[in-house]
Amino acid sequence: MKAKVSTLRIVVLGAENVGKSAITVRFLTKRFIGEYSSITDHTYHTVWNARDETFNIEITDTSPHSENVSDYHQNVSREDGNAFVIIYNVADGATFYHAKSEVERLRRNPNTSHLPILLLGNKTDLEHLRDVSVSEVRQTALCYNCKLYEVSAAEDFQAIHVAFRELIAHAIVIDNQYAKPVKRRRSILGNVSKRLSSVFKRKSLEDLIFKRRSGIPVHTCTRRSI
């Protein structure tokens, strides 16, 4: 029997020029693409194996210039993402506050408040120009229950891979926790339905036997095809 393949969706958010596409492509291909600008969202696909399970991973690299991005931000729900990567540039404080506002928005939304978030600082190769407080970043990650990594898309594939691997592992755990109660409810409803059906059939048969023994006329219903 063929194993079921689940799909996990990761949404990459962040201000302009923080390296969303560079991070995404680096994770998927190990290549560094340098400066990249897009006016549309892009969704990439890869296959991920974990614990004898296979997952289709969809990674949506969002663009602040996309016509759909404002609508998307207004309607973020579990259906739009199983996990989120929110990127900031360690050398640009404004991008961190943009990232922080995204984290706060997701945590306020009941559909996404429980989902994994990776707060990802990029461009650590520009550490000498750092404009983001390490202590404030750590406090934000702790306060909003986010994974926290700082990496360089230009220099460090391994750290990016580890960060995404942890995020995906967390997303799988959350997805399984969400799916089990649904499956259990369906199983319970199925069992109740079967039991009720059995009771009604047994009752109907008992009534039929009683009527025949009592000499009460029995009327049967014949379904006609229309």
Contacts of 26 (CB under 8 A, 6+ apart): 32, 33, 153, 157, 160
Q: What share of the chain is helix, strand, coil (3-state, %, to 5)?
A: 45, 20, 35
Tell me whether residue 216 is in a domain: no
Tell me whether residue 217 is in a domain: no
CA distances from 187 to 115, 172, 175, 196 (A): 25, 22, 18, 14
Tell me whether residue 131 is in a domain: yes
Q: Residue 95 and residue 80: Cα distance in Å, rounded?
A: 23
Tell me whether residue 224 is in a domain: no
Residue 115 structural domain: 6-179
Tell me whether residue 88 is in a domain: yes
Q: How many domains does the chain have?
A: 1
In tens, the pLDDT along 41-93 reads 889 999 999 878 899 999 999 887 654 545 545 444 434 899 999 999 999 99
Instruction: Find the CATH number of the domain harbouring 147.
Output: 3.40.50.300
Say what the pTM is: 0.74
In tens, the pLDDT along 134-180 reads 999 999 999 999 999 999 999 999 999 999 999 999 999 998 887 76
In this structure, which amino acid lies at residue 7?
T
Tell me whether residue 223 is in a domain: no
Tell me whether residue 196 is in a domain: no
Tell me whether residue 215 is in a domain: no
Q: Which residues pair with 87 in a beta bridge?
A: 14, 120
